[in-house]
Amino acid sequence: AAGFLISNKALQQDLQGNQFVYVIENNTAQKREVKTIALIDKKILVSGNLKEGDEIIIAGQDKLRQSSLINIAQ
């Protein structure tokens, strides 16, 4: 199955039940809707508007909104 394996910490859900992740684009958080395909250990296989190499945010998403400026902690 084609898709992207992401950390279960990355997956968010809005009030309508839509699943999404935030990716980093030009130092801002961009919301991308995804659909869960399968659970594999502590990772989730998803499909959606993601591409190879996208940096997915896995901490602090509850404080983010679309296009929020972000600081990246190393």
In a domain, 69, yes or no: no
Q: What is the CATH number of the domain that holds 32?
A: 2.40.420.20
Domain that holds residue 13: 4-63
Please give the pLDDT value at position 65.
80
- The answer to the question of residue 72 being in a domain is no
Q: Among 12, 8, 10, 9, which residue's Cα sits nearest to residue 41?
A: 8
Within a domain: 74: no
Establish if 57 belongs to a structural domain: yes
Q: What mean pLDDT is predicted for residues 51-74?
A: 82
Has residue 70 been placed in a domain? Answer: no
73 in a domain, yes or no? no
Residue 68 lies in a domain: no
Mean pLDDT of 38-63: 92
More confident residue, 34 or 60: 34
Query: For 2-13, what is the mean pLDDT?
Result: 94
CA separation for the pair 18, 64 (Å, rounded): 16
pTM for the structure as a whole = 0.85
Phi, psi of 11 (to 5 degrees): -75, 130
Number of domains in the chain: 1
